[in-house]
Structure 1
Amino acid sequence: MQLFKNNSHLNTWTIEKAKEGDRRAQKAIYDSLSEKMFAVCLRYMGERSAAEDVLQDGFVTLFAKLDTFSGDGSFEGWARKIFVNTALMNLRRNDVLKDTEDVSEARSISSEAPSAVQDLSYKELCAMISSLPPGFRTVFNMYVIEGYAHNEIASALGISEGTSRSQLLRAKAMLQAKILERKK
Structure 2
Amino acid sequence: MTEQSILTGCLNNDPVAQRELYNRYSPKMLSVCYRFAQKREDAEDMLQEGFIRVFTQIKSFRNSGSFEGWIRRIIVHTCINFLKKHKKFNESLDLAYVTDVQVKEETVPSLMMVRQVVECIRLLPIGYRTVLNLYAIEGYSHKEIAQMLDIEESTSRSQCTRAKTMLETILIKKKIIEKPAETYSLTAAFK
Residues 1-184 of structure 1 correspond to what in structure 2 (within 5 A)?
3-4=1-2, 11-98=3-90, 99-101=92-94, 121-183=113-175
Q: 1:16 to 1:126 in 2, by over 3 A?
A: same
Summarize deviations over 1:111-141 as a string: whole Å, max 9, x none: xxxxxxx796222111111111111010000
Please give the alpha-carbon distance, in whole angstroms, between the structure 1 residues aligned to 2:166 and 2:83.
21
Q: Is the 8 A contact 2:93 2:125 kept in 1?
A: no
Query: What SS class does the counterpart of residue 93 from structure 2 fall into?
Result: coil
Query: What SS class does the counterpart of residue 97 from structure 1 fall into?
Result: helix
Give the stretch that moved more between structures: 11-20 or 79-88: 11-20
Q: Is the 8 A contact 1:44 1:137 kept in 2?
A: yes
Matched AA of 1:100? L
What root-mean-square deviation, in Å, do the aligned CA atoms of Structure 1 and Structure 2 show? 1.9
Residue identity (%): 38
Q: 1:119 to 1:82 in 2, by over 3 A?
A: closer
Query: What SS class does the counterpart of residue 92 from structure 1 fall into?
Result: helix
Displacement of 1:57: 0.5
Give the stretch that moved more between structures: 16-25 or 93-102: 93-102
Unaligned runs of 5+ in 1: 5-10, 107-117
Matched AA of 2:93? T
Q: Is the 8 A contact 1:102 1:162 kept in 2?
A: no
Displacement of 1:63: 0.4
Matched AA of 1:156? M
With normalisation by structure 2, the TM-score equals: 0.80
Matched AA of 2:68? E
Q: Is the 8 A contact 1:97 1:134 kept in 2?
A: yes
Please give the alpha-carbon distance, in whole angstroms, between the structure 1 residues aligned to 2:6 and 2:93.
44
With normalisation by structure 1, the TM-score equals: 0.83
Displacement of 1:62: 0.4
Matched AA of 2:16? R
Displacement of 1:12: 1.1
Please give the alpha-carbon distance, in whole angstroms, between the structure 1 residues aligned to 2:112 and 2:8.
41
Q: 1:135 to 1:73 in 2, by over 3 A?
A: same
Displacement of 1:89: 0.3
Matched AA of 2:172? L
Give the stretch that moved more between structures: 33-42 or 93-102: 93-102
Matched AA of 2:39? E
Matched AA of 1:151? K
